[in-house]
Amino acid sequence: MTRLTTQDIQDIRYQLNRYDRYLVSATGRSLLGIGAAAAGIGDVTRLRGAAPSIRMAVVPIRSGLGIISGFAETVCGILVHLGFDAFVTGYSDVSGFAEAVDAGAQVILAADDDRFVAFCPRQGKTVDNSRATAAGFVAGLDLMAGGLDGKDVLVIGCGPVGRWSVESLLMRKARVSVVDRVAQKAADLAGWVQGAFHSTIRVAPDPDTALSTHRLIVEATNAAEVIHARHVNADTRVSAPGMPCGLTPHAREKLTGRMLHDPLPIGVAAMASQAVRIIREQPMGLKSTASDGRSE
Ligand code: 2YG
């Protein structure tokens, strides 16, 4: 699990309007729109309209390596930008969770060194950042590519985000290849997919060959300088949830308008949108009852 640094995130909350304009130019959708697409929410206007009435709390967590200065504030800034009634609790840890619940937060976001999670306490459900980040960046690739059904997509990096990216790609009927510098990790992921989804994905022989023969790419490694300018042509589109950014500066320059990368915004937008679906579909955690009173 990559641990962000203050330097990675310090400017994010001040550049969200500019980033939103870039997202609209690259995908045709805003940050909220990409989050909605990741959560399978079709009506973005309705989501935007509901957001101000949804209270979300971000709780700083001191466990392990401790607080990352600016992390909670940046997550909160992204949620406020999306229109939610979001705040950072004054207390951290358990006291922060109590403060969040007392303040009526319907969604509570918190991260330790192992997991970054959105909690929906009334529904007893959680949203995991790795899975939501994968869904968000795959949704963005889908929008950049004008749909992924039947198209060849490469996932490079077979860690948690790469694994969940494969899930999202299969749900969008893409033809998935995976590759990792540790060949066994790619083979293990193919085995998991076969067991979990009864689907077959291809394991590419090596990163350089795979990058040279694919135009739609999810870069989910924790390495820098994985995708070089030589791998990029006019048809290439890259969605890069991996931290640090896996594209060389020259590759990024060639891909302007056809690539997505950020340390937090798309993942947080996807988490928030998935949490909204949870709290909207099960308002008080009760099973929604059908018109004749039967519980579904
Ligand atoms: O509350 C705090 O300030 C700290 N306990 C936050 C620690 C977060 C550690 N995790 C990471 O930095 C990343 N895994 C977060 C998600 C990166 C985007 N996929």
Q: What is the mean pLDDT of residues 155-162?
A: 98
pLDDT over 70, % of the chain = 95
Q: What is the mean pLDDT of residues 242-260?
A: 97
User: How distant is the alpha carbon of residue 60 from its chain centre?
Assistant: 20
225 lines ligand 1 (CB under 6 A): no
117 lines ligand 1 (CB under 6 A): no
CB atoms within 10 A of CB 215: 18
Preceding omega of 244 cis (within 30 degrees of 0): yes
Q: Is the pLDDT of residue 95 over 70?
A: yes
Using alpha carbons only, give the angle 266, 69, 10 rounded to the nearest 5 degrees: 50
pLDDT for the residue 141: 98
pLDDT over 90, % of the chain = 94
Using alpha carbons only, give the angle 256, 134, 198 rounded to the nearest 5 degrees: 125
pLDDT for the residue 206: 93
Nearest CA to ligand 1 atom 3: 67
Q: Is the pLDDT of residue 273 over 90?
A: yes
Give the pTM: 0.95
Ligand 1 centre to CA of 66 (Å) is: 10
Of 69-78, 149-158, 287-296, the range with the lowest mean pLDDT is: 287-296
Confidence of residue 295 (pLDDT cuts 50, 70, 90): very low
Ligand 1 centre to CA of 3 (Å) is: 6
pLDDT for the residue 106: 98
Burial of 48 (0-12, 13-18, 19+ CB in 10 A): middle
Nearest CA to ligand 1 atom 2: 67
Q: Is the pLDDT of residue 260 over 80?
A: yes
165 lines ligand 1 (CB under 6 A): no
pLDDT for the residue 254: 97
Ligand 1 centre to CA of 88 (Å) is: 15
Ligand 1 centre to CA of 76 (Å) is: 13
Ligand 1 centre to CA of 45 (Å) is: 30
Tens digits of residue pLDDT in 176-199: 999 999 999 999 999 999 999 999
Cα separation of 104 and 19, whole Å?
31
116 lines ligand 1 (CB under 6 A): yes
pLDDT for the residue 153: 98
